[in-house]
Amino acid sequence: MSELKKIKDEFLSKLKESSDLSEINKIKSELFGKNGLISLQFKKIGIIAESERKQFASDLNVIKDELQNLINLKIDKVENLEINKKLEKEKVDITLPERSFVRGKIHPVSQTIDEISSIFSEIGFSVEEGPDVENEYNNFTALNTPDNHPARDMHDTFYLDEKKQILLRTHTSPVQIRTMLKDKPPFKIIAPGRTYRSDSDQTHAPMFHQVEGLHIDKNINMGHLKGCLNYFIKEFFEVDKIKMRFRPSHFPFTEPSAEVDIGYEMKDGKIIVGEGDKWLEILGCGMVHPNVLKNVKINPKNFQGYAFGIGIDRLAMLKYGINDLRSFFDCDYRWLNHFGFDPLDVPTNYRGLSR
């Protein structure tokens, strides 16, 4: 027993003093190596008296564990110290800039189109498209705007031929015609897209965007039209209350027709939608004219419904406080960066339109 204790005491003090990894490893082999002091003691177990054997083995194991633990702890500690010393030298100025990254943006018109599609998706509209180049029939005649109709004056049209048969569509309404000729009613579609008028000043651009809406079924009346637009406007502007005004107007392809104004006020040079006593016209709509339905071989006695056309750029301007329509198409990097959207901000029903 005393011999064991002696080994223990001697090495405990040795270990205490050493702080060098190789020294500790040396002690380790002095104790537990092939001929280490502890290893030798273990060989004794077989030769000592039966009566003492049990006690000796037990004592020896305790000492062995104690020393072994101590050595391991010591090694850990020393190793840690060494790593820390090394890491200390590797320290960087963490305030230096990160590696360069790129970030793109989605144009506000595209974002607005996605917002619109998302809202109308919820109430069962699907998205249709039509070509930018149209024939005179789809753009005007089929829409109850025959040649020599004064309403044509409101559409300054770009033509591609001298006979004025091929043109750039002046509104998205020809998509109504294409859709209804292609399929059978009911129809419930929106059609966003580029439209063109040969008009250019601060508030007009030769190209702009519209979204057409068309809902044809049995017994769709003006109440449905009002409800649909009321829902859309509220959702789009992300407000609970909206001041909306339906007032009579005239479009050749709808009867009765209406224009819709929303209430707004100016605060600090910015438009606040939904309050105030000023009115701003944002869309035209109405019940699809029976002549239009006849032109696409639908019997107006059996089917009826509404259509609307909304200026997308205008909506984007109002919602996001953009003052100048022309700036949409100027591609100024600073503008795109400021008014653009992160591509991950996809408007959806469950996330909502925006953050």
Partner 1 sequence: MKITFDWLKDHLKTNLKEKNLLEQLTNIGLEVESLGDITSDNVSFKIAKIIKTEEHPNADRLKVCEVYVGDKETKKVVCGAANAREGLITVYAPPGAVIPKSKTKLVAAKIRGVTSYGMLCSESELNLSDESDGIIELSTKYKKNIGKSYFSKSKSTLIDLSITPNRPDCLGVRGIARDLAASGFGKLIDLKEKKIKSKMKQTLKVQINREKNQGCSIFGSCLIKNVKNTESPKWLKDKLISVGQKPISAIVDITNYVMLDTNRPLHAYDADKIEKGIVVRNSKSGEKFTALDNKNYKLENGMCVICDDKGVLGLGGIIGGIRSGTEFDTKNILLESAHFEPGLIRNTAKKLNLDTDAKFRFERGVDPLSIENGLNKAGQLIKEICGGEISKIDIQKIGKYKTRNIIFHLELFEKISGFKISTKKMIKILDDLGFKSKKNKKNLRLTIPSWRPDILQEVDIVEELVRISGYDNIKTIDPIKKRKKSTLSKSQKLFHFLQRSIASKGYFEAITWSFTDSNYNDYFKDLKKEIKIVNPLSSDLGVLRNSIYSNLIMYMNKNLDRGFKDLSLFEIGPIFTGSNPGDQNTVVCGLSAGKKSRLSWIEKERNVDVFDVKRDVVQTLIEVGYNSNKFFIDNVTPNYYHPGKSGRLFLHKGDEQVAAYFGEIHPNITKKIDIKTESLVGFEIFIDNLKFSKKTLKDQKSKFTFSDYQKSERDFAFIVNKDVNAQDLINAVSSVHLSLLSNIKVFDVYEGDNIPENKKSIAISITIQSFEKTLNDNDLESINNLIIKTVENKTGAKIRS
Q: Which of 257, 296, 318, 322 binds partner 1 (CB under 8 A)?
A: 257
- Residue 271, SS3? strand
Nearer to partner 1, 71 or 113 (CB): 113
Please report whether residue 227 would count as binding partner 1 according to CB under 8 A. yes
Which lies closer to partner 1 via its Cβ, residue 59 or residue 259?
259
Query: Among positive and negative, which fits the CA dihedral 327, 331, 332, 336?
Result: positive
- Report d(CA 345, CA 339) in Å as an integer: 13
Here the tokens at position 280 are 């701003």
Please give the structure tokens belonging to residue 195: 């439209």
Which part of the chain contacts partner 1 (CB under 8 A), choosing from 30-38, 48-56, 81-89, 164-172?
Answer: 164-172
CA dist., res. 233 & res. 202, Å (int): 25
- In this chain, which of 256, 272, 276, 327 binds partner 1, going by CB under 8 A? 256
Rounded to an integer, what distance in angstroms lies between the CA atom of residue 261 and that of residue 332?
31
Among 166, 239, 272, 280, binds partner 1 (CB under 8 A): 166
- Report the site for partner 1 in 123-142 (rule: CB under 8 A): 123-127, 129, 131-135, 138
Which residue, 11 or 306, is less far from partner 1 as judged by CB?
306
Q: CB-wise, 38 or 287, nearer to partner 1?
A: 287
Strand partners, 263: 279
> Is 351 a binder of partner 1 (CB under 8 A)?
no
* 168 contacts 161 by C-beta, under 8 angstroms: no
Run of H or E including 256: strand 254-267
- Contact characters 298-337, partner 1, x per CB under 8 A: ------x-----------------------xxxxxxx-xx
With beta carbons less than 8 A apart as the criterion, state whether 217 and 186 touch.
yes
Give least dist CB 270 to partner 1, A: 23
- Compute the distance between CA of residue 309 and CA of residue 281 in angstroms, rounded to an integer: 12
Among 99, 184, 270, 355, which residue interacts with partner 1 (rule: CB under 8 A)? 99
Distance between CA atoms of 190 and 157, rounded to whole angstroms?
23
Residue 185 binds to partner 1 (criterion: CB under 8 A) = no
Q: Which of residues 18-57 bind partner 1 (CB under 8 A)?
A: none
Q: Closest distance between partner 1 and the C-beta of residue 255, in Å?
A: 5
Residue 122 found at the interface with partner 1 (CB under 8 A): yes
**Residue selected from 105, 185, 272, 320 as contacting partner 1 according to rule CB under 8 A:** 105
CA 8, CA 153: separation in Å to the nearest integer?
Answer: 109
Of positions 149, 241, 278, 351, contacts partner 1 by CB under 8 A:
149
For the segment 259-288, give every residue that binds partner 1 (CB under 8 A): 259, 287
φ/ψ of 336, rounded to 5, equals: -60, -40
Please provide the size of the chain in residues.
Answer: 355
Tell me the C-alpha distance between 276 and 50, whole Å. Answer: 105
* Distance of closest approach, residue 203 Cβ to partner 1, in angstroms: 14
According to CB under 8 A, which one of 21, 207, 239, 272 is a site residue for partner 1?
207
Q: Does 343 bind partner 1 (CB under 8 A)?
A: yes
Helix/strand/coil (H/E/C) assignment for every residue in 190-252:
EEEEEEECCCCECCECCEEEEEEEEEEECCCCHHHHHHHHHHHHHHHHCCCCCCEEEEEEEEC
Q: Does 94 contact partner 1 by CB under 8 A?
A: no
CB of 9 to partner 1, least distance (A): 52
Residue 349: CB minimum distance to partner 1, A: 10
Applying CB under 8 A, does 198 fall inside the site for partner 1? yes
